[in-house]
Chain A
């Protein structure tokens, strides 16, 4: 067994539950979560160096799942198309906390892929807009728009569950390296 295969084996045995749980949060469907995790494992290990650390592999598989969702690979086969109406149609269940949590997750799942991914990265991963933007290769302003749209949709269906506008604007310091052009020519 090669080193990458050992890492793959260890990753799934030790972190599989967390990764699969994340895939399920993203997809809301066990078959789709299976597909998403398989695809992410493939993406992570097809070019992997032999000594890829377990934490790096874990982080990459999570990231590959998010990227796949944003890019629509999974959705094209397994997820419903963009449909705000389905989210708006869901009625909040104020009598059962458990049912409310399920309904919340289902409402999140009904968001378009990019909004859904941003909302999950904000409220499940705890990342701010800048971090989400870096992760997905989007502009921070674009991420904030996705978050705002997603939260607006959720608020229409779960108006009193406490989504705070401040959640969308909390930012952390980030280190930038500025690069200047000094010379041109081949």
Chain B
């Protein structure tokens, strides 16, 4: 190891740390705590709305499971009393029925979609990435601010091919390489900054552990637990890409979390089967920026952790 560079960096850190020690820690603590409190208070409001959405979805469960979901009636319409099975396998379907969009996005019940809810239009994770204006990160979206609320089935895509791996050291990391074919009869415009994956576990597979909680937490502030990040890194360099009928679309999605701190670590440890699906925001009718929906790309695949080996990176 090059000690001269090490020493330079360590010295800079040490001197800055000494300067910090002379300050009043409250100068740092109080602004951070205020900001966190504001955010958590806002999420409490979201969670309340989300719970209502899920309850509605449960009541509409029978129709949600049908191949072509029925149009959502006004809220004043009496709801069916059929209650769908409440487990993580059914969670995605249950969430198909919820309330309206928030920021000018027009819901069409005949078109599949899932909303990535947010406080204001500028809080859209896609928008925040665009604000960075950094060409090196133009294909990455952090979904930590995404509160997915509802969706239906999207345009027809299929022939999903995927290659997935989980690493446990030094941190848990789930990588998914995928490709999918547009099997519909019309072009699909995909927002390449919005592709992500969804991971579910079998009912009761994980008991009440973090993974089970996570996989059922559809309307939480994030699809991922604390201390996790999800980035979708795609082949395309454009803001959106149009996949013509019969064409294949591919990408790589990576999720990270601190080892031992969340669902990925649990999944690797328990070797539980994982149902993994890929989702993306699509633009309806184009151009980009018009009403958009988050829809599933291709089929949901079930993955089994089958072996554990030790490799060295070369």
Binding site for B on A (CB under 8 A): 4-5, 8-9, 12-13, 16-18, 20-25, 28, 30, 33-34, 37-38, 41-49, 52, 56, 59-60, 63, 67, 70-73, 75-76, 100-102, 104-105, 108, 112-114, 119-120, 123-124, 126-131, 133-135, 137, 140, 154, 161-164, 167, 171-186
Q: Does B288 contact A (CB under 8 A)?
A: no
Contacts of B310 on A, CB cut-off 8 Å?
173-176
* Contact, CB under 8 Å: B29 / A9: yes
* Contact, CB under 8 Å: A161 / B29: no
User: Given A46-B40, A129-B313, A134-B256 in contact, is the A174-B303 Cβ separation under 8 Å?
Assistant: no
* Contact, CB under 8 Å: B312 / A172: yes
Indicate which residue in A46, A105, A163 contacts B36 across the interface (CB closer than 8 Å). A46
**Closest 5 interchain pairs by CB?**
A24-B16, A21-B13, A21-B17, A17-B17, A20-B20
Q: Does B51 contact A (CB under 8 A)?
A: no
Q: Does B274 contact A (CB under 8 A)?
A: yes
Further pairs besides A123-B9, A177-B166: 20, Cβ < 8 Å: A9-B25, A21-B16, A37-B28, A60-B258, A72-B132, A75-B134, A102-B8, A104-B5, A108-B8, A112-B136, A123-B5, A124-B9, A135-B170, A161-B5, A174-B167, A174-B312, A176-B168, A177-B307, A181-B302, A184-B302
CA distance A162 to B2 in the complex (A): 6
* Contact, CB under 8 Å: A45 / B36: yes
CA distance A164 to B5 in the complex (A): 11
* Contact, CB under 8 Å: B33 / A5: yes
Binding site for A on B (CB under 8 A): 1-21, 25, 28-29, 31-33, 35-36, 39-40, 43, 131-134, 136-137, 140, 142, 144, 160, 162, 164-171, 173, 221-222, 225-227, 229, 231, 233, 254, 256, 258, 261, 268, 271, 274, 299-314
9 CB-based A-B contacts, threshold 8 Å: A4-B36, A45-B33, A48-B226, A60-B258, A101-B8, A105-B8, A161-B4, A176-B165, A178-B165
* Contact, CB under 8 Å: B305 / A13: no
User: Given A49-B226, A134-B173, A177-B268 in contact, is the A163-B6 Cβ separation under 8 Å?
Assistant: no
Interface of A is mostly: helix
CA distance A18 to B19 in the complex (A): 11
User: Nearest B residue to A73 by beta-carbon distance?
Assistant: B132
CA distance A68 to B132 in the complex (A): 11
User: Nearest A residue to B230 by beta-carbon distance?
Assistant: A137
User: Nearest B residue to A72 by beta-carbon distance?
Assistant: B134
* Contact, CB under 8 Å: A185 / B29: no
* Contact, CB under 8 Å: A38 / B167: no
* Contact, CB under 8 Å: B31 / A38: yes
* Contact, CB under 8 Å: A24 / B13: yes
User: Given A46-B39, A126-B1, A134-B173 in contact, is the A179-B165 Cβ separation under 8 Å?
Assistant: yes
* Contact, CB under 8 Å: A8 / B36: yes
CB distance from A171 to the nearest CB of B (A): 5
Indicate which residue in A44, A167, A180 contacts B227 across the interface (CB closer than 8 Å). A44
User: Nearest A residue to B18 by beta-carbon distance?
Assistant: A17
Contacts of A8 on B, CB cut-off 8 Å?
29, 32-33, 36
Contacts of B309 on A, CB cut-off 8 Å?
176, 178
User: Nearest B residue to A52 by beta-carbon distance?
Assistant: B226
Contacts of A34 on B, CB cut-off 8 Å?
28
User: Nearest A residue to B40 by beta-carbon distance?
Assistant: A46
* Contact, CB under 8 Å: A163 / B313: no
* Contact, CB under 8 Å: B2 / A123: yes
User: Given A20-B20, A25-B12, A137-B173 in contact, is the A124-B4 Cβ separation under 8 Å?
Assistant: no
Contacts of B225 on A, CB cut-off 8 Å?
47
Contacts of B311 on A, CB cut-off 8 Å?
173-174, 176
Indicate which residue in B1, B166, B222, B254 contacts A137 across the interface (CB closer than 8 Å). B254
Contacts of A123 on B, CB cut-off 8 Å?
1-2, 5-6, 9
Contacts of A76 on B, CB cut-off 8 Å?
131-134
CA distance A130 to B21 in the complex (A): 34
* Contact, CB under 8 Å: A178 / B4: no
CA distance A43 to B258 in the complex (A): 14
CA distance A72 to B43 in the complex (A): 25
Contacts of B169 on A, CB cut-off 8 Å?
134, 174-175
Contacts of B171 on A, CB cut-off 8 Å?
134-135
User: Nearest A residue to B256 by beta-carbon distance?
Assistant: A137
